[in-house]
Structure 1
Amino acid sequence: MTFAEAMPRTAADRGRRGGDSYDDIEPALIELAALDTADPRFPELRATIVRRCLPLADHIARRFSGRGETYDDLYQIASVGVVLAVDRFDPARGSPFLSFAVPTVMGEVRRHFRDRTWALRVPRRIKETQQKIGPAIERLVHRLDRPPTATELALDLDLDLTEITQALIARNCYRTDSIDIPRTDDGPGTGAAAENLGYEDTHYELTENALAIAPLLAALPETEQRILHMRFFENLTQAEIGQRCGVSQMQISRILSRTLDALREQALAD
């Protein structure tokens, strides 16, 4: 029996496999390890072991489904991981097969996502950082009761802020959309994106204003810079800022009003 013959060909075939037949698979793996690869019994026993372990591929493929890849594609990738686990497992180490096979199969699936499903070329280091960001965001949201900032992500993952920023930007490279697909957002213009290429984007004015005011912000006293940062970058309320600074909410309101008025006057004067 060949490996191709051992593989279920359809979802119905996979559904008829029954329970997890890789339980107590170690004796068969010990027998396989004792055979010479030239022994005519070797390929048949290997195919039988792989077939018994394929429910593991099914479990892991379903775990990763819904992330832009079809179940059947993920099942094929996971099945390759099962074959690798069977071929690489060393019974002499005394470890359970499952403890070795699960990370091996999951590694193949994750490698597929990392290397094959990006719409644009992204450095592997950035891809690996991007994979860490999702769990970190979920962890910090539970701790902070709000989405974390890039700085908080960098501290949590012990990574450089620039690397975190690059990884966050790289998330947009995972999929690209056709410019011929009709728009579904509420932005300016109607119809497909191609019909609105060249449309004036008001965000450029916001960028220009930010660049113009940057030197003015740098010239502010440290306390006012800190309050502005907490209000507009950390999205804290005036009351929360007051608690951090040890003053009342009304004092924070006055400082913000005075600082913003001064910045506006200086920007318009320049």
Structure 2
Amino acid sequence: MDRNELIEQNLRLVHACAHRFAGKGIEYDDLYSAGCVGLVKAVDRFDHSRGFRFSTYAVPVILGEIKQLFRSGGSVKVSRSLQELSMRAQKLCEQYRARHDGEITITELAEQLGVDVYQAAQALSASKAVLSLSGEDDEGYVDVPVPSPEEALTEHLSLREVINALSDDELMLIIQRYYRHKTQQQTADTLGTTQVQISRKEKKILLKMRAMLV
């Protein structure tokens, strides 16, 4: 599967992530545009050799771009060159709608702009155009700002990605405490340490995980 196909086939992840923040002060289309930038970044940075599913890696990256939009107050600093590209992108989108009575895909837009998919996604994010980036697959998607069944999936994938980032020792402690439901003393006995040390390590690990999820 090539780069553009991987992006097109995973746009539903962007919708699932964007729906989590719908109605919280930023227009859905802006959330979706930021999420598309995250998806392209995830595609470019994904390392197949690590053995993770792409969605496991992509969801935290997509969420990170959307959360950055909130941290910046709903606006993004845009360079002059990106402003010009975004104006071209918006014009092409309007022309496409007028001719085809539909929405241009991100791959088609990138081709017409003469840039790669990442730059096209950035241009859309900057222009804040109301734009659908759906591929023309048979299944399609429903783009409505209502709670989605996929939200639970994004939460699960985000947590899984954080857990995968823990060291072996940290992971063992979390498994004992939160998957096997052992007390701190029981965990200490299993790991050959003291309850006090387990308590201290657990607090540090939970703070680390919380920081990665925010």
Q: What TM-score do the two structures reach when normalised by structure 1?
A: 0.27
Find the structure with the greater CA-based Rg. 1
Larger RCO, structure (CA 8 Å, separation 6 or more) = 2
